[in-house]
Every structure is written in structure tokens, then in C-alpha cells.
Amino acid sequence: MLTLASDFGTPYPAAMRGVITRRTDATVTDVAHDLPRQAPRTAAFWLRFVLPEFPPAVHCVVVDPGVGTDRAALVVRAGDHALVGPDNGVLLPPARALATASDASLELFTVTVDDPASATFHGRDVFAPTAAAVHETGVDRLETRDDLTPTDDYEELTLPEPSVDRADGAVAAATGEVLAVDDFGNAITNLPGDLADGRVGEPLRVETPEETTAAPLTRTFASVAPGDPLVTVGSHGYLECDVNQGRGDERFGLGVGDEVTVRWSEG
Amino acid sequence: MLTLASDFGTPYPAAMRGVITRRTDATVTDVAHDLPRQAPRTAAFWLRFVLPEFPPAVHCVVVDPGVGTDRAALVVRAGDHALVGPDNGVLLPPARALATASDASLELFTVTVDDPASATFHGRDVFAPTAAAVHETGVDRLETRDDLTPTDDYEELTLPEPSVDRADGAVAAATGEVLAVDDFGNAITNLPGDLADGRVGEPLRVETPEETTAAPLTRTFASVAPGDPLVTVGSHGYLECDVNQGRGDERFGLGVGDEVTVRWSEG
Amino acid sequence: MLTLASDFGTPYPAAMRGVITRRTDATVTDVAHDLPRQAPRTAAFWLRFVLPEFPPAVHCVVVDPGVGTDRAALVVRAGDHALVGPDNGVLLPPARALATASDASLELFTVTVDDPASATFHGRDVFAPTAAAVHETGVDRLETRDDLTPTDDYEELTLPEPSVDRADGAVAAATGEVLAVDDFGNAITNLPGDLADGRVGEPLRVETPEETTAAPLTRTFASVAPGDPLVTVGSHGYLECDVNQGRGDERFGLGVGDEVTVRWSEG
């Protein structure tokens, strides 16, 4: 199985799919082609969330603001999975999640690329053919490919860590940032969901540089009336700032990268 | 074959697809993931329109404003098809259409769900695994599954019925509502297409609470000049208020749920 | 393999996919369903770009402002590929590209269509079933189908040609038009990429009826600072007016169909 993910919108991904289906009979699945534009960190968040759900596959990932520069093309092996994409860090958070899931360590390879047909669409000219070739070779036989060279020189990308303020053991406040806003408008933070353990139902204050919003910590959207704000643990395991049947990003005044503090209210 | 439909946008559906492809080799097809947000009735309209085109399949449908509450998870058998989704009515109109097409009656089952990993993404944690399991078991063997219990206790959802004013046999006016607005801006009503039988070319008045628009009853979009309004019978068999190469919803002032009266003009 | 392309948005294409999967086990791949609305010429540009990447396939293309009128339905054979769609020219530019790639000539057939179920959704009622039937028959055996009649009477569609002003051999200016704007906002012209041969790095003036923008001719987006304009050779082989990590259409004031002149600056 091959998966495709990009920020290309439409119809560029179809060209990648054509290139791949010319080279392999493997099933090709789109993960998403409307990942946030040219934002490797947000894309990495989403791919870390989604790719571990898949069976062993070759994942072709193209979020590549540096296309056409001398940034390298990478293949990353993570257990039974391989990821193919640009060397800008976007592959690493999902690759680490895949490796952890299969108790493997990461192995990285740079791709020797013949002069590509274009300087602006390496999805078609570099990454898709490489992904197809890696699939045909087999993820466990990457060493047999002449165009792949093991490397430990690559762009790192890690998602930010939050700071947690514990007073007498109980968490009083935690400060982090918004990793992503989903299509529902849920503002997903990097604050770990276990902050909510045993505290569902408590009132919170959510502070941004611009405003402060009172919202309860709930288990579900429907725990508050439609249109009301809430904080809950999202399916990715992080706290998210939401509105039941509305947009949390607008209500809380939050966008990707914004700092956010969740404070347990005094009452 | 498995189909997926939701209001999730992107990239959540890819997680569902991963979960399913981990469990079955079946072909997985996306129906749509941008069904109107948290609007089971509009989603039901679209699915009733689309799903009967498919060969026998398991259809996983997630439009679920009550996710995480105690609403049940359902499997509905409709002849050779099965539908899997939340117990909020969204499954019933398409299930009835599928059952009618194969001269079958509906059979409903509640799903016994182990504590799901999240309270906000049952598409991944409940419905996708259930759909994969149902597919592997076979639609004709649902009774063999311990996690499925026959039920006749479920949320009903029916699409609204119009009222038709017949004067001396001929229809003088009909009042209904807008079931959906498609991406072209066509405002699709619940007024049955047979109201147009033998009357193509006649002038109509379309009345909404806000405004009245004159438009002919036509067989095609191209029967009027680009930019002009028309009423025609859509491919779902209902009257729709359209503009040739433009947006009918804007021209007629219509949105989902709006009341609309179509009146045969005196001349 | 069957591919689907349309301007239908969602969820209409799923009905086409259902119709096809009821009739054939072939792999069905979406090319794009958000091609520019009812714009056969822009759609033809994109399909000419994308379809040649695919292995031999039947391509079902529905961009059809004249649906329901007496415009014919066509099947076009281009070597090992076939295209199925309305007779409005949209099939011809991609068909010619496919034919050229396999050194074949075009063969056109009109489709005898039984009275379709709807006058507004021939994607479902005419083109999808025809595409499935053509696939099952085989692209090399179209002559055996009673519903296909060879024809040389069809709507032509050609993409516009630019004019190039050569002073003493070197190109001083070239005037063309915008064929398409992609999701990144790149304004893709019909000015051939070989105008850039040997001249990367030179300053240009891009003139539209409304404004003039200075921008360098570069090989990559990242050759200029984020937010700065550039002209480069896109992956389709044409000059495009872009902004690094921004929207070229807004910066240069360009939309589909706009005239654009690229002028080599005196310095």
C-alpha cells in the first residue's frame, strides 16, 4: 500500500497518482491533499496522528516550501513503514510515531535524484517515482537500492513542549500552543490530555494574548449547549478548545502557533 | 466494498480509512467527507441519493453531533447492503432507499461498544472498526456477531413532505422546503418532480419568506441565458431552483430548511 | 483503470463511482472533481497536464455546461487511452497529448444515448455507464460496440497561442494569457517555458491591463524572499506568475483569461 499526503490541493496530486500507478499495481490511498499550506510542522502533527492507523505502507509526503532548492530528498524507514519526502523535518514526527508503534528505530536515507523534469513539482518528478520504487523494492530491502544512501544528517523537526505549573501536586495551569485547527474550528493544543484525568466537569479559564474565555472541561462536545465553549481531550490525546456545533478558533481567538494558557479556576 | 461518508472534512477520514485497511482487504471508497456539518437530515438526503447507485456494500456514515453521549451505534441491514453509524436517524432514509431497491425490509442492530479510545472521534474508534468487522463477517451473517443485538428502538428521521394545492386537477401551487444546496448553488426542494410533467416551459413564481422570483420551468440549465433563473427537475427527482451557470441559492434567497412555494403564474 | 474528472464538487461524483463499480471491477481513480466550474477550456488545460501521467485507462470527463441540450456524447480513442465526455471540446487537448505520447492519431465516436434518467446529471446517467461499458469492451475494440459511431464532426477546442516579440534574436517581450490559476494562486500563462532558457536570474516586467509588476525570472519559488513575486517555469512547461509562499494571482492582478505581457527589462 502507498499513501499520498500533500498541501497541493487539486489537481496536482492526480499527476502523482498517475506516476505511481504507471509504476506499481499497489493500492494507492490519499491521506489528505489540503494539509495546511507550506507548513511542515502542522502537517507533521496531522501525519503523526493519522499514519499510525495504517497497515505497513510507503507514505509519500510532500509539504515542501523549499522545492527546487538543494534540500535533500529523504526516505525514512520506521519498522514496516517507509516515508518519502523532502528533508525539512515533516517526515520525522510521523516516522517516530510509526517506529514507536513497532518498537523500531528510525533509519534515514538520502535519495540520489537525477535532474528532475521541473524545479517546482518534485511531488511528480522526485517523490512519487521514489515512493513507487521503494514500494516495489520492499521496505525491508532499501539497502539494495543504489539511489539510497544511509544518512544521519537531516533537518530536525520536533513539536513544541508545554509547561505545566503544579501547585501542591495538582495542576493549576499549563501553557502551550496551538498545533492545529481542524475543519470544525477545534483549536488543538499541545497540552497533554492526561491533565484532564479526574477533573472532567471543572471550570477552566483559557487565556490567550488577546482574551480570556471561561469554559468547562468536558468529556464530549454535547456536554454544553450548542454554541457554548468547552475544553476537551481530542482524539489525538491533547486538550482542544472547542465550541459545541461551532468554531472554537473564533470563540477563543486562537490560530496555529498561538500561545494558550489553561488555568484551573478558583471557582 | 466499503464506503465512507462523513462531515469530517480533512484529514480525519484518513484515520478511518487506515483503521479499515488494517482490518480488511476490501476496496474502500469515499462517498463524501464534506457533507453539511452536523446536519443529519441533509446528509440523509444526499446519502439516499447516492448510496443506491453502489453495488452491495457496507456503508460507514458518520454525521454525529451527539458523539460521546450515550446515543447508540447502529448497524442497519437493507437487503445486500449494511449501514453503520450513529443512532440519530441519518442512516434511515438511505437505508430505506436501499431496502426498497432490493425489495427487502430494514433490520436494525445496536452495537455493543467497548470503551472507545476517544469521546470525540467515534468514526475512528467505533464506526470504522465496526464497519470493517461487519464487512468481514458478511452482511447476511450479522446474527452471528456477539456485539450486534437486534433492535426496534431507534431514532427516526424522515424528510419533510410538501403540500400541493390542486385547483380543478391541475396543480396551482406547491409548498415545501429546501432539503439541500449543492456546490453549484442549486437549491433542491422536496417538491416532487412529477409536478413538472407536461408543464415544461410554463412560467412560475417562486416565493420565499423574503422575496418572489419569476422563473420558467425548464428541462435543462441551458434553456435560459447564462445568469438567468430557472426551476427544473434535478437528478434526485425534485424541483430545484437554479441559475444557469450561476448560484440559485443566492438568486432565489434560499438556504437549507427554508420554506419555498412554487406557484404557477396566471400568465 | 478508470479515472473520473469533473467540476461537480461533492457528493455527485460518488454517484458516478457507484454506477461504475456496479458495472466493472476496474480500479476507479478520482483525478479531480473541483475543476473550474463549467469552464471546459481550463479543465482541458489541467487534464492535458495530468492525464498523460496515467497508464492506459478510460478517462471519464464531465465539465458540461450544455448538459441536457442536444450536444453529443463522445468517446475519443487516443492510443491505449479512451476519453468519454461531452462534445464541447474538453476532451480534445488531453486526448491530443495522450495520442502524441503514444504516437497515435485520434479517433472519435459519437455515443447513441437512450433517453437518460435526468436532463441535468449525465455524469451519472450517460458518461459513467458509457465509460464502464468502454472499459469492459476494451479500448482496442470500440468498433464492436453498436452504440458507438465513428465521427469527424465535433466541437473543437484549442488553447490560445501567445505572440513573441524577438528583437535581434533575443526575446524582448511575449504576450499571452492566463490559462489557469492553481490552488496556490500561481497564475499559469500560455507563454512557453523555453523563453526562460539561459535567462534565469534576469529581471522582468509583467504587464496586465491593470498594473505592472517587476519580478525576476527564477528557477524556484525559494529564489526570492517569502512574499516576493517571481516568474518561473511551472511543471506544465509554461511561465507562471507566482509569489513565494503567497498568491501570485493577487499580487500580479491576474485571473483566468486575462492578457499578460512579460517584458525583459532594460535593467
Q: Do A67 and C222 make contact, defined as CB atoms within 8 angstroms?
A: yes
- The amino acid at residue B87 is D
- Bridge partners (DSSP) listed for residue C187: C181, C241
Q: Do A31 and B11 make contact, defined as CB atoms within 8 angstroms?
A: yes
What average pLDDT is seen over chain A?
94
Please say if the pLDDT value at position B217 is more than 70.
Answer: yes
Residue B193 lies in a domain: yes
If one counts the domains in chain C, the total is 2
C67: helix, strand or coil: coil
In this prediction, residues A229-242 reach a mean pLDDT of 96
Domain boundary among A151, A175, A202: A151
Q: Confirm if C241 and C186 have CB atoms less than 8 A apart.
A: yes
In this structure, the answer to whether residues C7 and C139 fall within a common structural domain is yes
Please say if the pLDDT value at position B99 is more than 70.
Answer: yes
Residue C156 lies in a domain: no
In this structure, the answer to whether residues B179 and B217 fall within a common structural domain is yes
In this structure, the answer to whether residues A219 and A250 fall within a common structural domain is yes
Integer-rounded Cα radius of gyration of chain A: 21
In this structure, the answer to whether residues B24 and B86 fall within a common structural domain is yes
Residue C37 lies in a domain: yes
In this structure, the answer to whether residues A19 and A134 fall within a common structural domain is yes
Share of chain A above pLDDT 90, in %: 86
For residue C267, the model assigns a pLDDT of 44
Chain C residue with minimum CA distance to B55: C22
In this structure, the answer to whether residues A6 and A124 fall within a common structural domain is yes
Chain C nearest CA to A55, separation (Å) = 20
Expressed as residue numbers, the domain containing C32 is 2-151
Residue A156 lies in a domain: no
Distance of alpha carbon A145 from alpha carbon A152, whole angstroms: 18
Q: Do C118 and B221 make contact, defined as CB atoms within 8 angstroms?
A: no
Please say if the pLDDT value at position C238 is more than 50.
Answer: yes
For residue B96, the model assigns a pLDDT of 97
In this structure, the answer to whether residues A11 and A95 fall within a common structural domain is yes
Residue A26 lies in a domain: yes
Mutation choice for B interface testing from C2, C6, C8, C10 by most B CBs within 10 A: C10
- CATH number of the domain enclosing B214: 2.40.30.90
What's the pLDDT band for B267 if we cut at 50, 70, 90?
very low
Lowest mean pLDDT among A131-135, B35-39, B117-121: B117-121
Integer-rounded Cα radius of gyration of chain C: 21
Share of chain C above pLDDT 70, in %: 99
pTM score: 0.95
Contacts of C among chains (3+ CB pairs under 8 A) = A, B
Helix (H) or strand (E) holding C149, with range, is: strand C148-151
For residue A266, the model assigns a pLDDT of 61
- CATH number of the domain enclosing B38: 3.40.50.10790
Looking from the CA of C218 toward its CB, the CA atoms found within 13 Å total 21
Lowest mean pLDDT among A160-174, B144-158, C17-31, C205-219: A160-174
Domain boundary among A121, A151, A181: A151
Total residue count of chain A as it appears in this document: 267
Return the DSSP state at C125. Answer: I
Nearest to B67 among A35, A50, A220 (CB): A220
Name, of A118-127, B123-132, B205-214, the range with top average pLDDT.
Answer: B123-132
Per-residue pLDDT tens for C138-180?
999 999 999 999 999 999 999 999 999 887 778 899 999 999 9
Please say if the pLDDT value at position C68 is more than 70.
Answer: yes
- Bridge partners (DSSP) listed for residue C207: C212, C261
In this structure, the answer to whether residues B71 and B145 fall within a common structural domain is yes
- Bridge partners (DSSP) listed for residue C264: C204
Domain boundary among C85, C117, C151: C151
Residue A92 lies in a domain: yes
Residue C51 lies in a domain: yes
What average pLDDT is seen over chain B?
94
Please say if the pLDDT value at position A115 is more than 90.
Answer: no
In this prediction, residues A52-72 reach a mean pLDDT of 94
In this structure, the answer to whether residues B138 and B235 fall within a common structural domain is no
Distance of alpha carbon A129 from alpha carbon A23, whole angstroms: 8
Please say if the pLDDT value at position B177 is more than 90.
Answer: yes
In this structure, the answer to whether residues B119 and B174 fall within a common structural domain is no
What average pLDDT is seen over chain C?
94
Per-residue pLDDT tens for B29-84?
999 999 988 899 999 999 999 999 999 999 999 999 888 888 999 999 999 999 99
In this structure, the answer to whether residues A176 and A141 fall within a common structural domain is no
Query: ipTM of the assembly?
Result: 0.93
For residue C167, the model assigns a pLDDT of 73
Distance of alpha carbon C80 from alpha carbon C145, whole angstroms: 17
Please say if the pLDDT value at position B205 is more than 80.
Answer: yes
Residue A157 lies in a domain: no
In this structure, the answer to whether residues A186 and A98 fall within a common structural domain is no
